[in-house]
Chain A
Amino acid sequence: DQQVKQNSPSLSVQEGRISILNCDYTNSMFDYFLWYKKYPAEGPTFLISISSIKDKNEDGRFTVFLNKSAKHLSLHIVPSQPGDSAVYFCAASLSGAGSYQLTFGKGTKLSVIP
């Protein structure tokens, strides 16, 4: 049973526009949510995280929104750049000892068109 779901395998956006990547989860006990970016044949790199007690976290062009009642989070990238083209993974974890076990979604491939 997938606890973290990214229902859109791919997304195409024009350069300069907003990219919105979505993620749904089923476990209401998750305390932390993270977004990672991955280029082909490389390891993922951390982008941004959010605690379950917040509804928004911003870092430069990247903003993550959390809607706990809907068990939904989204990553906004504004403005989108060609270098943002990559696979984006949403991940979630519990707190304490449970924080060692991140649960990842299947990823969304973002293509930013120049």
Chain B
Amino acid sequence: DGGITQSPKYLFRKEGQNVTLSCEQNLNHDAMYWYRQDPGQGLRLIYYSQIVNDFQKGDIAEGYSVSREKKESFPLTVTSAQKNPTAFYLCASSNRDYPGANVLTFGAGSRLTVL
């Protein structure tokens, strides 16, 4: 089955530690994304990557870093510089077919809690 796999599903971190969230897709999509969701809030874009070895900052990139060395993988590192890292993190991918809406396929999410 094609899809997006995020791991771990739950993660606990002590303040001051960096943590990396994994995202792998086998949909052969070119573009990948990281969103953050907080309670009562919409999804906010952290980073996105249109192609391998290229990525752009979204609306809330501060305190986060990404890499895109392979088409299938787009890991997100939450650094100690992120002031409020506790959140639900969603990875997504899309195959950007023109014209039309850019339909994202989402993973099941990773919940990060900072203790």
Contacts and interface: CB of A to CB of B under 8 A. Distances in A.
Answer yes or no: are A and B bound together in one complex: yes
A99 interface: yes
Interface residues of A, number: 28
B107 interface: yes
A99 B43 contact: no
Interface string A1-37: 0001010010000000000000000000000111010
Interface of B: 4, 31, 33, 35, 40-45, 48, 50, 56, 58-59, 90, 92, 96, 99-109, 111
Nearest to A5: B42
11 contacts: A6-B42, A34-B101, A36-B106, A44-B43, A44-B90, A45-B106, A89-B42, A99-B96, A102-B43, A102-B45, A106-B40
A93 B90 CA distance: 18
A66 to B, nearest CB: 12
A42 B105 CA distance: 12
A101 interface: yes
A95 interface: yes
A91 B94 CA distance: 15
Nearest to B103: A46
A107 B107 contact: no
Interface of A: 4, 6, 9, 32-34, 36, 41-46, 49-51, 89, 91, 93, 95, 99-102, 104-107
A43 B101 contact: no
Contacts of B105: 46
A50 B101 CA distance: 8
A100 B106 contact: no
Nearest to B40: A106
Given A44-B90, A100-B48, A100-B50, A105 B101 contact: no
Contacts of B102: 32, 93, 99-100, 102
B42 A104 contact: yes
Given A44-B43, A100-B102, 6 more contacts: A32-B100, A41-B111, A46-B104, A95-B99, A101-B48, A105-B42
